[in-house]
Structure 1
Amino acid sequence: MLKQERVDFILQRLEELYPETPVPLDHFDAYSLLVAVLLSAQCTDERVNQITPALWELADNPYDMAKVPVEKIQAVIRPCGLSPQKSKAIQKLSEILVNEYHGQVPENMAALETLPGVGHKTASVVMAQSFGHPAFPVDTHIHRLAQRWGLTSGKNVTQTEKDLKRVFPREKWNKLHLQIIFYGREFCSARGCDGTVCEICTTCYPSRKHPKKTKKA
């Protein structure tokens, strides 16, 4: 299968499997999505969704959150892991939103990336899902699948993002990154598939005999 044939098959199959792509993190505006994505680092979406209702009871907007002691935030989000860093980041970014952006999440990638605890992937998710700007957030799971499917040889998520943006139509990015995440969880997980098991892997590489190892930086 040539690369373009793989790309076309992947697009078609993912659209058949996941015509609807609800954001897996519960949220009600750009701020709640920003905080939820920040919390999801090294934590499952399911656990974040269990924790955020109690966090929103403390404060559900940057004006109120900026006034909540870091210790109180940390006590609520502890099950997410990395709670000392995440609690400080949530309070500080809330302060910045109030002081510099009138309490609004900026609709700007560069501005988002300057916020505490907000990296490129988190900023990309907010730009894509809250504001509708084309973005292709790549996490370690998408990085792994992109390598298994022969779409990148990059050793890190930065290169993989560039490669995926190059091969997939821009208007597909926002939906596609969620479709790939859904497929990975259901059929092509780290343990459930090694590049020789799931439908997309076996269709793209029918003669692959050995597990596909993921390149990491």
Structure 2
Amino acid sequence: MTFEGGEGAGKSTQIRRLAEALRKRGANVVVTREPGGTETAERIRDFLLSGKAIGLGVEGESILFAAARADHVDRVIRPALERGEWVLSDRFFDSTRAYQGSDGVDEKLLAALEHLAVGAVRPNLTIILDLPVEIGLGRATRRRGEGDVADRFERETLDRHEKRRQAFLEIARRDPGRCVVIDASRPEDDVAADIWKAVEVRLLPTAETV
């Protein structure tokens, strides 16, 4: 199961809350993130979010995201699924589609990288937390705290953030069987309640653990 959305959408908070709810039901849950989740992928994350990869161009960044994702899938996600555990990931391939795709990277290149990185590993459910970009960026600023520097993506223009928001919504429109869009501008408890409803309806009846 994956969580997607723009900056400041509350993915980390809602993943934590869902993990707690599932564990109370006796589930074994792995919480992870992208880029990251392994030592190698975390190093790639630091490189990307610092902005040092900008000189490689958006295609080069896409390749680095795919490399991090491949390691993440091989070392964390696939083994957990084979053990029958739930995997909750803060971002997955939809973020590459929305971010690098809206920045002009060719869809065929992204599809090829996605295939190489994840193979048959696909989320059963993707929660897309949607909110106006101004609200999300404001939250991200408060989350960082005074004096902390915005990362490579947070620093970009409102127009680029809005393109990514619309890209996520388009992903959900194209794949309604997998994606659920939830209004993340509301109070945290209301968002968590809607996420739990989506999990109950789509996953718990069939005892799926992805």
- TM-score after normalising by structure 2: 0.29
Task: State which structure, 1 or 2, has the greater radius of gyration over its C-alpha atoms.
Answer: 1
Between the two structures, name the one with larger relative contact order (CA 8 Å, sep ≥ 6): 2
Structure with the larger strand share: 2
